[in-house]
Amino acid sequence: MITTKKLVVRRSAQLACAILMGGWASAAWAAAPTSRPSATTQPTTEPAEVGPSGGTSGGELSSLSLEDLMKVEVYSVSKHAQAVAEAPAAVTVIGQDDIQRSGMNSIPELLRLVPGLEVARINSNQWAISSRGFNDLYANKLLVMMDGRSVYTPLFSGVYWDTMDYVMPDLDHIEVIRGPGATLWGSNAVNGVINITTKSARDTQGWLLDGLGGNETQQGEVRFGGALDSNTFFRVYGKYRNFEDFPNAAGHDQHDGWQDFRGGFRIDRYASENDTLTLQGDVYSDRTGQTIDVPVLTPPFRSAMYAENDFSGANILGRWSHVVSPTSDMSLQFYYDRQDRPDVQLGYSLDTFDLDFQHRFQLAQNNEVIYGGDARFMMDHIENTQLGTFSPTNRNDYLVSGFIQDDLTLVPDKLHFIAGTKLEQNSYSGFEYQPSGRLLWTPNDSNSVWGAVSRAVRTPSRWEQDSQLIFSTMPTAQGIPAQIDTIGNKGFDSEAMTAYELGYRVRATQAVTIDSSVFYDSYDKLRSGTAGTPQVVLGPGGAPHVFIPVKLGNDIDGDAFGAEVAATWKITNTWRLSGSYSWLDLQLHRGQGVDPTMERIFEGTSPRNQFQIHSYWDVVKNVELNTSLYYVDSLHTGNIPAYLRWDANVVWKIKDNLSASIGVQNILDNHHPEFNSGLFLTQANEVPRTYYAALSFRY
């Protein structure tokens, strides 16, 4: 079966490549805004919308040269605007052009465009997303921000991707750093940072009506923007999404479909030439289908349980940005976030309050300093179930941190040295430090070389310190069943990583750019499990079973080696091809007496090889043909075979304010699996072929 599948993949790859070489392919890779103010926590004046294809959101591919693309500015690497060619990190930006042309209708799916990022859909409502290894539904080494607000949850140190959404045309761009960003962004920015930025209210005036219908997804969104006065702008929006059930391996629909309602607002007031005030907020409500494989003590030791869960949340954020001078600016930001996620496995609610300050200034002619501080307070409540318990059920946690980074110009316009550190005190692991040093050499306008050494930590989660959860049940040779529980460890420490990176960017010709990086990551104190002494105990009905506790600890270390390369080729003024390839080798080593389960699982949840090719082609002035090809290597964990995914869509710009599109995703497969680590009880299903048609109207 596996041999046949690989043969199909190879033949599909040959067919797709032949079609691509015949001119039906499309690609995109690097880019984003063309101008950004020197803002601090988040930019408040929005840039022009530029995608990796080189075109603006409504323009032609000829609107930017490759030289212009090298000068596109990013924010997340240094917390201030800098050209992507001068960013000493592996960074990619998804711009509005990518968002519109990709055909992706959710933020998690858009992240497939990023070279080397691991994006796998588990079922209709769950994703596993990570960078440079350790992928899982509960991936915990990737920090995600939205308009300066962290969407991290301390329950498992990760992200609920089903809650991440917005009106797609009102997203400005998504910046993705592959590699550590902890010096500026703090704990859990170990293997990457994702920074999602929406447009200012001033740039979203008037009505927007969007609708999409297909066999897998249906959605509608409406937004209205207006002005309260000449300096104050606002927008309000509402959005509805419906996702159908995904099939299992046999092609039968499973109980994992879901519906999502959300709405929100944003107000931007330009109080003066130097002061901007922003107030924004969102609310959402999800109804999610869920199939749980509940561990039981009778054959076949798993029982399917179907449930519908109602999730909800809200957030509000306020920010003041002040420009002191052309070389100095500051910001002050506060946000409150509420999550409420009751389900059959666990009832969970979280309230987060966060206050952040940041200041950038020029210390000397060739010396720029940025520093800041953050205070966060979190209150959670957990409802225990038969599948697991937490003690205590209520917990209040805090995080207080400060950072400083110095950008020293050693040779004007040629050589920069950037050094800094993040100092943090948190209620899970106490004091943490996360320093980094980066060197950037730009010998000319066409070449840049950078290197970095960084330390980052991933702080413990509620699960690792406070829980007892049923992991699995199984038969034994003695004829009585066994139950394995994971047991939290109050002394669970932070996971630590030291990263060594080297990158090179070049505009090889007037038509070709290349961006490459290599890295070596050394990990210490990774999560492990150590089996305790088995005990015979009586179950709720009085029947005996073997109880095996597995205590969580920090007894795994390891190394990750990798390389990433992306290239863009502007074939004509109306056609651009781009692509990327990434390679990863993760080697973990457990301590003496440690159970091998977690070591084996995490060595096999990330693909060794990935590549993608995109093409954005303006067939005629108002018709675009966009296609993408993705290859993802097999995953040893879960026995997931390699797959080749081919997407295509056509966009017809009927008028300046009216466009229509049709598309197909997963052309080569009726359905295929993408992920199953076995660390979660929710059933993993398969990603189907999907068809859709969309209409967008603005006035």
**Beta-carbon neighbour count of residue 4 at 10 Å?**
9
Helical H segments across 76-211, by residue range = 96-102, 107-110, 182-185
Mean pLDDT of 615-626: 95
Write out the DSSP string of 3-27.
HHHHHHHHHHHHHHHHHIIIII--B
Summarised one tens digit per residue, pLDDT across range 13-46 is: 333 333 333 333 333 333 333 333 333 444 443 3
3 state DSSP class of 598: helix
Helical H segments across 115-203, by residue range = 182-185
The helix or strand, by DSSP H or E, that contains position 120, with its residue range, turns out to be strand 117-123
Contact 319, 332 (CB under 8 A): yes
Rounded to 5 degrees, what angle do the CA atoms 473, 479, 484 make? 20
pLDDT at 539: 80
pLDDT at 368: 95
pLDDT at 65: 56
Query: Model confidence at 83, in pLDDT bands (50, 70, 90)?
Result: confident
Residue given tokens 């927007």 in the structure block: 208
Cα distance between residue 130 and residue 137, in whole Å: 9
Cα distance between residue 61 and residue 88, in whole Å: 27
Mean pLDDT of 277-299: 94
Is residue 55 scored above 70 in pLDDT? no
Is residue 181 scored above 60 in pLDDT? yes
pLDDT at 397: 97
Cα distance between residue 35 and residue 46, in whole Å: 8
**Which range among 445-459, 532-546, 627-641 shows the weakest confidence by mean pLDDT?**
532-546
Per residue in 81-91, is it b (16+ CB within 10 Å) or e — as a string? bbebbbbbbbb
Q: Which domain holds residue 503?
A: 2-698
Mean pLDDT of 477-484: 91
Bond prior to 326 in cis (omega within 30° of 0): no
Strand ranges for 296-346 from DSSP E: 302-325, 328-342
Cα distance between residue 73 and residue 403, in whole Å: 23
Mean pLDDT of 544-548: 94
C-alpha pair distances (Å), 526 with each of 229, 431, 572, 589, 625: 54, 18, 49, 10, 45
Cα distance between residue 506 and residue 528, in whole Å: 42
pLDDT at 458: 96
Cα distance between residue 236 and residue 282, in whole Å: 10
Mean pLDDT of 40-57: 36
pLDDT at 244: 97
Number of domains within the chain:
1
Strand ranges for 495-574 from DSSP E: 495-507, 512-531, 535-538, 544-572
Is residue 120 scored above 80 in pLDDT? yes
For position 601, which CATH number holds? 2.40.170.20
pLDDT at 38: 36
Is residue 360 scored above 70 in pLDDT? yes
**Which range among 61-70, 317-326, 548-557 shows the weakest confidence by mean pLDDT?**
61-70
pLDDT at 514: 96
pLDDT at 543: 86
Reading the block at residue 475, the tokens are 């038969």
Summarised one tens digit per residue, pLDDT across range 147-157 is: 999 998 999 99
pTM of the complete model beyond 0.85: yes
C-alpha pair distances (Å), 413 with each of 416, 417, 420, 440, 444: 8, 12, 21, 10, 9
Is residue 496 scored above 90 in pLDDT? yes
Mean pLDDT of 371-388: 96
**Which range among 557-566, 588-597, 602-611, 640-649 shows the weakest confidence by mean pLDDT?**
588-597
Strands 544-572 and 482-487: parallel
Summarised one tens digit per residue, pLDDT across range 662-696 is: 999 999 999 999 999 988 888 899 999 999 999 99
DSSP 689: P
pLDDT at 2: 37
Q: Which residue type sits at 390? A: F
C-alpha pair distances (Å), 180 with each of 46, 237, 368, 557: 26, 34, 21, 17
Residue given tokens 């306020």 in the structure block: 318
Higher pLDDT: 87 or 692? It is: 692
Is residue 242 scored above 50 in pLDDT? yes
Mean pLDDT of 384-399: 95
Higher pLDDT: 121 or 79? It is: 121
* pLDDT more than 90, % of the chain: 79
Q: What is the mean pLDDT of the chain?
A: 89
**Which range among 35-44, 244-253, 334-343, 496-505 shows the weakest confidence by mean pLDDT?**
35-44
Cα distance between residue 142 and residue 614, in whole Å: 25
- Is the four-CA dihedral 212, 215, 217, 219 of positive or negative sign? positive
Report which of 413, 359, 382 is spatially closest to residue 155, judged by C-alpha positions: 382
Cα distance between residue 9 and residue 224, in whole Å: 46
**Which range among 256-265, 276-285, 288-297, 395-404 shows the weakest confidence by mean pLDDT?**
288-297
Report which of 501, 561, 525 is spatially closest to residue 179, judged by C-alpha positions: 501
pLDDT at 15: 35
Is residue 239 scored above 50 in pLDDT? yes
